[in-house]
Amino acid sequence: LPMLASYFNISVDELIDYQPQMTSGDIRNLYRRLAAEFTAKPIDMVLAECREIVKKYYSCFPLLLQIGTLLVNHIELARDSEKSAAIIAEAKALFVRVKEESGNMALIKQAVFMEALCALASGDPNSVLELLDGSVTGALPPESLLASAYHMKGNIRDAKGVLQIGIYQNLVVLFNFFPAYLMLCADDAGKYDETLRRALTVAEAFDMKNLHPGVIIGTYLTAAQGYMTQGNRDRALDMLQQYTEIVTGDIYPLRLHNDAFFDLLEDWLDKIDIGTDLPRDNKTIRKSMAETVARNPMFAALSDEPRYQNITEKLFGYSEEDNRND
């Protein structure tokens, strides 16, 4: 040990206490590989590999956070409520470890959010409220201050870039809010239609179908479900048609990217936790997009509708065709 410690220019104590870490690039590549394996291998085999990685890198907190996130994003593959609950509990344990041991505020914030998500998936609303303090505090976005500071230093490009990042992130957050709010308004047709109108107006203004189709499709799907609860089958089918046109369009491989308006995001996107990749492999996403409609009990009453049959046929046909091409 003394010779080995000397070779690496560290003390024996440091050598004994060595805790392997992964770089952000290695974590990103590992996440991408494991996400692909979830579609190609039995789930138990991939879970076993994840557990071995966690065991080896138990003190690499950014990795633990991403492994937990990976598990949460592939729960649906379990096809068994008992196994799903076990995977959620396993992911939650990783988030709790990051929260309690990492000492990194950014990681802790993400871990608490993911722990709350696990609690919600487990049917434990009280834990969600406790973890998130049961209230919404005023937003204190740093982007405007950072942009002003860059502007004062004459760095206009960085000032614009920071604000673009802020606008982009808040757009994504907004389209995570819209589906949840729509469902809460389903008992008020007027409020429901107005909420949807505003959501789709924002989506059109920022070209969300091309910029980030993964978030806008949630609004269309939820809108269809809401219209079904109102007994408005025609509008539900309209929303499903819009959903289908997007998910069977030229949007693959799904990646985070910039566009003509958001033209300064590239460096930032490359630096985020899993890079430009989405949390799930594209094969998994395509299959899920078809099953979300075809196996959704909310749409069971539409099974005899020719429009609905055409929609599900197109979704599954596209998914199977793309899988053959991969």
| Residue 111: per-residue pLDDT | 96
Angle at 201 between CA 300 and CA 248, to 5 degrees: 45
Q: In the structure encoding, which two tokens stand for residue 264, read together?
A: 């300064």
Q: In the structure encoding, which two tokens stand for residue 79, read together?
A: 């096809």
Give percent above pLDDT 70 in the chain: 88
| Residue 194: per-residue pLDDT | 98
Tell me: pLDDT of 218 over 50: yes
pLDDT tens for 165-211 read 999 999 999 999 999 999 999 999 999 999 999 999 999 999 999 99
114 and 154, same structural domain? no
168 and 119, same structural domain? no
Give percent above pLDDT 90 in the chain: 69
Q: Examine the fold and report which residue of 99, 133, 167 is the final residue of a domain before the chain moves on.
A: 133
Q: Examine the fold and report which residue of 77, 98, 133 is the final residue of a domain before the chain moves on.
A: 133
Q: In the structure encoding, which two tokens stand for residue 150, read together?
A: 């860059």
| Residue 273: per-residue pLDDT | 63
Q: Examine the fold and report which residue of 133, 157, 174 is the final residue of a domain before the chain moves on.
A: 133
Mean pLDDT estimate for the chain: 88
63 and 153, same structural domain? no
279 and 203, same structural domain? yes
- In the block, tokens 């405007």 appear at 144
Mean per-residue pLDDT for 141-155? 95
Tell me: pLDDT of 13 over 60: no
Q: In the structure encoding, which two tokens stand for residue 195, read together?
A: 């909420």
d(CA 169, CA 89): 29
298 and 181, same structural domain? yes
> Which of 73-82, 132-141, 207-216, 267-276 shows the highest mean pLDDT?
207-216
Mean per-residue pLDDT for 258-285? 80
Least confident residue range of 100-109, 131-140, 249-258: 131-140
| Residue 251: per-residue pLDDT | 85
21 or 112, higher pLDDT: 112
Tell me: pLDDT of 288 over 90: no
Tell me: pLDDT of 18 over 90: no
Alpha helices by DSSP H, the chain: 2-7, 12-16, 24-40, 43-56, 61-72, 81-101, 105-121, 125-131, 143-152, 156-184, 189-205, 208-211, 213-229, 233-247, 266-271, 282-294, 306-325
273 and 172, same structural domain? yes
66 and 184, same structural domain? no
127 and 8, same structural domain? yes
* Residues 6+ away with beta carbon under 8 Å from 45: 37
> Which of 22-36, 72-86, 300-314 shows the highest mean pLDDT?
300-314
Distances in Å between the alpha carbon of 16 and those of 97, 164, 255?
A: 22, 46, 41
301 and 200, same structural domain? yes
Provide the pLDDT confidence category of residue 15 given band limits of 50, 70 and 90. very low
| Residue 183: per-residue pLDDT | 95
Least confident residue range of 46-50, 125-129, 131-135, 214-218: 131-135
306 and 213, same structural domain? yes
Tell me: pLDDT of 1 over 50: no
- In the block, tokens 């000492």 appear at 103
- In the block, tokens 């998500």 appear at 117
323 or 235, higher pLDDT: 235
Domain of residue 268, residue span: 141-315+322-326
| Residue 221: per-residue pLDDT | 97
293 and 163, same structural domain? yes
| Residue 198: per-residue pLDDT | 98
Q: Taking the model in full, what pTM does it have? A: 0.78
d(CA 185, CA 64): 37
270 or 265, higher pLDDT: 265
38 and 17, same structural domain? yes
CB 118 within 8 A of CB 88: yes
Tell me: pLDDT of 275 over 80: no
255 or 308, higher pLDDT: 308
| Residue 63: per-residue pLDDT | 95
| Residue 274: per-residue pLDDT | 60
**What is the total count of domains within the chain?**
2
Provide the pLDDT confidence category of residue 280 given band limits of 50, 70 and 90. low
